């Protein structure tokens, strides 16, 4: 079975760390400390991903990343 998930309001800093492989799990990405402010200069991202169970383990497959 495949499930769809999303992580919203990912900060620019967390996004860059994820791309540099410094953040290795979705739990780390979701729990990365970020401050959502009214400042329009900040970029925030939404990650859409699929969760697929294979051999008793969950695999996370990133579908798309959108900048807000």
Chain segment 36-65, per-residue pLDDT in tens: 655 555 788 999 999 999 999 989 999 999
Q: Which residues lie closer than 8 Å to 28 by C-beta, 6 or more apart? A: none
What pLDDT is stored for residue 39 in this prediction? 58
- The pair of structure tokens assigned to 56 is 């008793």
Q: What is the pLDDT of residue 17?
A: 92
Spatial neighbors of 1 by CB under 8 A, at least 6 apart, are 52, 53
Express each pLDDT in 14-41 by its tens digit: 999 999 999 998 889 888 887 665 555 5
Residues 6+ apart with CB under 8 A from 35: 11
Cα distance between residue 11 and residue 44, in whole Å: 5
> What token pair was written down for 42?
């900040």
Residue 33 is predicted with a pLDDT of 84
Domains of the chain: which residue ranges? Answer: 2-67
């Amino acid at each position: 079975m495949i499930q769809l998930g999303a992580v919203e309001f990912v900060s620019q800093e967390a996004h860059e760390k994820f791309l540099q492989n410094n953040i290795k799990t979705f739990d780390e990405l979701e729990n990365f400390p970020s401050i959502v402010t009214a400042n329009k200069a900040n970029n925030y991202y939404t990650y859409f991903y699929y969760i697929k169970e294979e051999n008793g383990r969950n695999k996370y497959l990133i579908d798309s990343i959108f900048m807000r």
